[in-house]
Amino acid sequence: MTTTTMATDPKYQTSLLTAQHSQGHIHLILGANPLAASRATQSLASGAKPILISSSSPTSQLHYAIEAHIAAGRLTHLPRPFEDTDLFTLGRPAVDGIVDAVFVTSARDPLAPHVSALCMRHRIPVNVVDSPALCSFSLLSVHVDGPLQIGVTTNGRGCKLASRIRREVAGGLPRGLGDACARLGDARRKVLEEVELDRDGEEEEEGGGGVDDSVEQGAGLNRLVTEADRKTRRIRWLAQVCEYWPLRRLAGVSDQDVEGILRSYESNVRGLSSSSSGDGGSPPGRRMGRVVLAGSGPGHPDLLTRATHKAIMAADLVLADKLVPAGVLDLIPRRTEVRIARKFPGNADQAQDELLETALAGVKEGKTVLRLKQGDPFVYGRGGEEVSFFRAHGVEVTVLPGITSSLSAPLFAGIPATQRDVADQVLICTGTGKKGKPPVPPEFVGSRTVVFLMALHRISGLVRELTTHLEEEGEEKERRKLWPVDTPCAVVERASCPDQRVIRTTLRYVAEAIEQEGSRPPGLLVVGRACEALYTPERGRFWVVEDGFKGLDLDLDLGLGVDGGERSGTTGGGMEKTGVLVA
């Protein structure tokens, strides 16, 4: 699984969590109790070859699971006392006979301190049950589902608690996620093999990495795909599927879906056109359906309007944009057909065409088609274009507004965009122009709050345009006013979602902050003094990261996270300050 950088509080020391590749390793297990049996089972599951040493239990009295492993020839049993030389002789020839790990399964084993000291001296990983001081590593409470493993540790604060948390985390996951990991992993491998991508180039980042799950989502996920890298489209699409599809939908990914992903963009074939082919004109006697174009708000399902909710319940076919949040998609009745747009930068036109054609086909079949868009449909949602398209085809369209991220994300970050005496205007812009060209940068106005959507993937360029004159602007022209590099700004990502993140900084450091913290799309940039209307920056800090969304549960708290610098990390699921760089 991908490790996300939630709060790393310097108050607590944490461990470096790793996944040991143990194929063929020799694990030495001391003891013959039930724990020894379970260690042997875990060791075998990881592909290692366990050797169990126990002198106390005669073979006839071994734990039944141990007996079964021995009988099946999976486990070597040495019925004798441990000897120091075992550490250096029982291992693989490839590592000069040194064993790969040692598990002491009884804390009362009088040999435990000695074995531990010996292992540590020779850098052999050692674990002694219930004895943190004697361990060089500890085992996690693990949930396993196919190739997916989720491990939890409280770093010595209690294994009962760890296993409770693990159960809770696992219980919240949709069924079938392990199979989905396997399927999508296979698909990724196939695509990579086919297109022979440069493995240490960008595609590792785009595709989510090969073996290392700790690589955060790089800022390049939403980089534009140009004609030149058409070959990489499928891998980009796969990365987008993994990033944006709701987990529930991902868990249900079928062979057919994977097949579709593999086939898509091979030759610019339209993958979604199955139901949209045809010659136009509704079948005789059938009434035309209609289109509802609705906004689904920034993320949290409570931010849907009642009108959009009604439209969701009434639709026969839902055509959702990629960014429509999972919590909203979860509201769609099971019986309703849902399609999610296959949009990614550089492919938006094609995905849009596919969706419109599908919508038209649905309407001709008499269906009520809901075009569900993120935020508000007329704020950078191509909503207007869609209305024109449907009108041109004689289709009736009802447009329902949504809460736009451009105004609600600043709010959820505690930024009053038009604070009196601070800002008297708000400008909503895109950071990416048509065909990927940068749009004209907005001029500096001290009392202006600027919200940039679709901008974070090219943050360095944007900051350069805002703060310096560009060569092509020419010397003689009346010069555009530049934004001072110390202008406060904030990156607000996944606003109103449980993993909302806010990075507060200035134009000087914002690109570096994103580079270091990674990106968590979708996100936007707010620039202007309003960013510091309710927030006082702490001296000597280049940027501050706040992780988590306080939620909209009115019973709990009406604060909505707008209380500036007073937040603490102690309110469950609330805001947490992290990742601070000191000057």
Q: Which residues bind ligand SAH (CB under 6 A)?
A: 298-299, 323, 373-376, 379-381, 404-406, 409, 453-454, 492-496, 522-524
Q: Is 79 helix (H, G, I), strand (E, B) or coil?
A: coil
Reply yes or no: is the peptide bond before residue 110 cis, omega within 30 of 0: no
- Nearest distance in Å: CB 434, ligand SAH: 14
Instruction: Choose between 20 and 388: whose C-beta lies nearer to ligand SAH.
Output: 388
Distance of closest approach, residue 497 Cβ to ligand SAH, in angstroms: 6
> Which lies closer to ligand SAH via its Cβ, residue 358 or residue 374?
374
Which CB sits closer to ligand SAH, 29 or 451? Answer: 451
Judged by beta carbon, residue 106 or residue 404, the one nearer ligand SAH is 404
Helix axes 177-195 and 233-244, enclosed angle (nearest 10): 160
Q: What is the smallest separation between the CB atom of 332 and ligand SAH, expressed in angstroms?
A: 19
Nearest residue relative to ligand SAH (C-beta): 375
SS3 434: helix
> What residue ranges in 199-329 does DSSP mark as E strands?
290-295, 317-320
Q: How many CB atoms lie within 10 A of CB 196?
A: 8
At closest approach, how far in Å is the CB of 385 from ligand SAH? Answer: 13
CA angle 555, 559, 564 (to 5 degrees): 160
Residue nearer to ligand SAH on the CB measure, 204 or 493:
493
- Residue closer to ligand SAH by CB (options 210, 439) is 439
For the CB of residue 451, give the shortest distance to ligand SAH in the complex, in Å.
9
Least distance to ligand SAH from the beta carbon of 248, Å?
Answer: 19
212 by Cβ neighbours in 10 Å (0-12 / 13-18 / 19+) ranks as exposed
Q: Which residues pair with 128 in a beta bridge?
A: 104
CB nearer to ligand SAH: give 264 or 496: 496
**160 CB-near residues (< 8 Å, 6+ apart):** none
Measured CA to CA in angstroms, residue 545 lies from 4, 203, 455, 504, 510 at distances of 13, 28, 19, 7, 11
Shortest reach from residue 524's CB to ligand SAH, in Å: 4
By CB atoms closer than 10 A (0-12, 13-18, 19+), residue 325 is: buried
Cα 156 → chain centroid:
28
Nearer to ligand SAH, 111 or 326 (CB): 326
Specify the residue, 370 or 524, whose C-beta has the smaller distance to ligand SAH. 524
The amino acid present at 573, given as its one-letter code, is G
Judged by beta carbon, residue 86 or residue 321, the one nearer ligand SAH is 321
Do 486 and 289 form a contact (C-beta atoms < 8 A)? no
- How many C-beta atoms surround the C-beta of residue 361 within 10 A? 21
* Minimum CB–partner distance for residue 371 and ligand SAH (Å): 12
What's the longest Cα–Cα distance across the chain?
A: 96
Residue 494 CB, shortest distance to ligand SAH, in Å, is: 5
Q: How far is the CB of 446 from ligand SAH (least distance, A)?
A: 24
The token pair at 298 is 């920034």
Buried b (16+ CB within 10 A) or exposed e, 158-186: ebeebbeebeeebeebeebbbbbbebbee
